[in-house]
Amino acid sequence: MESMTAQQLAKLNIKGIRVAQPYGRLIGEPEKNAVIFIWGEKGAGKSTMSLGLADTLAEHGRIEYIPAEEHFGKTLVDRVKRLGATHRNLNFTKWKSIQALKEILLKNRSFACILDSISVIDANAKETVELAQWCRENGIMFVMVSHATKDGQYKGNTSIAHECDIEIKVTKEGGAETEKNRYRELTAIAVPFTAQDREVTPANPAAKEETNPDKRENPVNTPFKITLKEIDTLHKIRSWKRINSMFGSKMPCYAPKHSGESENAHLSIRYTADYPKKRYIMDLLLDGHLEYQACTEGKGGGLKACWKKLVSKYGDLEIRIYKQDHAKVVLGAKEYKRQERALGKKETKSTAPDSPTTKTKKKPAAKPKPASTKQEKTSSKEQPTTNNISSDEKPQQIDIEAAKDSQAKLDAFLTKVLG
């Protein structure tokens, strides 16, 4: 049918497929003929991510996995064993040509095809897009994997990203985040690198969720919201590495004051230091547009001064944290570990649920920690989400002199090395 009325279209009931966790949290419920694009830097974990996803999708039908880079070598075998990717519907096929691949997919009535990677098959962007469109027309899910260039972008032109329904970027920090998703809001997960990391929750909602009693539980539930001002209360930003690891190139956020109020809004913080001229610039970008620019000059400038101006102007900006590794950096390693200890004490002393609060109150006297009082109360009762961090309550005391001394040493080092 080449045309359809609005009433006919409204009567259609197109259901997506359910994908087992944690991949389901990342991609949602895509259609059977969805096109997924996975890319990232060398060694970031693209093949691990695609293999785990392939084994999960195998629950819905035959999967043709084409390891065009590794073939059937030792690294592929080790990865299969490490991930426990041994579903009976998961099949590995050697690469020959695009036409040969099409014939295999039709002959085996394959549910999905994972091509790892498109950069080694001498296929240009046009051929890759045509293959993706062919899979879509034949009701076959197509997952293509690609490398990142030196400037941090994916190989190929923008036509590849435009054709896909879901774009997933795998980072060297061990995270997989959606840059584009037509089936749910943008989110991120930690890449499962072992069989223990992969959750065994079945895609079928009627089936009971299996739990691993030995699995280490994260003390912080994600996603959660936190403002720049609350981050500043927890700990002081002291290096570009801290900001880069905290937000990455893009971070899903929701800003009430932002004109494009959306759950898919993106936050980027960019810091540029011109040491010869002693000029420092920090940019706040929302959805790729420059929202605010903090500039400092001279001896009193630098990242810390730029950050202070940014917090002063946009301290109420809310950021949604999706990944556990981001949560650890945003909250600070000390606060994260403190909540982890509190959670462990709660589990071992179930008869005395208030005991973690008593313990945590004694520690700051000997070793101050930049944690909010509100979060201490949360950790004693349930797994903290930091949704209710109160900016009205006073933070615990911080050793200002030690922080200034450490900052001075860091600034001297950066000036010496980068200047």
Reported as a single tens digit per residue, the pLDDT across 316-370 is 887 777 667 667 777 777 777 888 888 777 766 655 544 433 344 444 444 444 4
Round to whole Å and give the CA distance between 276 and 145. 42
| Structure-block tokens of residue 332 | 């600070």
Give the Cα-Cα-Cα angle 315, 318, 302 (nearest 5 degrees).
40
Task: Mention every residue, 6+ apart, whose C-beta is less than 8 A from residue 2.
Answer: none
Q: Are 398 and 362 in contact (CB under 8 A)?
A: no
Which amino acid belongs to residue 414?
L
Cross-strand pairs, 227: 318
Residues 289, 86: Cα–Cα separation, whole Å: 45
- The pLDDT of residue 358: 38
**Nearest to residue 117, comparing CAs of 155, 54, 69?**
69
> Which residues, other chains included, contact 289 with Cβ-Cβ below 8 Å and sequence gap of 6+?
none
The CA-based angle 326-261-229, given to 5 degrees, is 45
Q: Hey, is 272 helix, strand or coil? A: strand
How far from 97 is each of 24, 66, 100, 120, 204, CA to CA, in Å?
31, 11, 5, 11, 36
Pair 290, 283: CB distance under 8 Å? yes
With 0-12 / 13-18 / 19 or more C-beta atoms within 10 angstroms meaning exposed / middle / buried, residue 368 is middle
Q: How far separated are the first and last CA of the chain, in Å rounded?
A: 66
* pTM for this entry: 0.51
Length reported for the chain = 419
Distance between CA atoms of 54 and 76, rounded to whole angstroms?
14
Q: Which residue reads 């240009």 in tokens? A: 124
Q: What are phi and psi of 143, to 5 degrees?
A: -115, 120
Strands (E), 68-196: 90-92, 112-116, 141-147, 166-170, 175-181, 188-190
> Amino acid letter at 375?
Q
Residue 170 and residue 191 in contact, taking contact as beta carbons nearer than 8 Å: yes
The pLDDT assigned to 290 comes to 81
Please tell me the predicted confidence (pLDDT) of residue 332.
74
Q: Encoding tokens for residue 152?
A: 């941090």
Say what the pLDDT of residue 404 is. Answer: 74
Give the contacts of 72 (CB within 8 A, at least 6 positions apart).
Answer: 92, 94
Q: Angle 74-83/46-57 helices, nearest 10 degrees?
A: 60
Contact 266, 251 (CB under 8 A): yes
Strands across the sheet containing 289-297: 251-252, 266-274, 279-286, 289-297
Backbone angles phi, psi at 90, to 5 degrees: -90, 120
Distance of CA 355 to the CA centre of its chain: 34
Contact 167, 180 (CB under 8 A): yes
pLDDT, residue 240, reads: 58
Those residues with Cβ within 8 angstroms of residue 74's Cβ, 6 or more apart along the chain or in another chain: none
Q: For residue 315, count other CB atoms closer than 10 A to its CB.
A: 15
List of the chain residues with pLDDT < 50? 207-213, 248-249, 254, 259-261, 263, 353-395
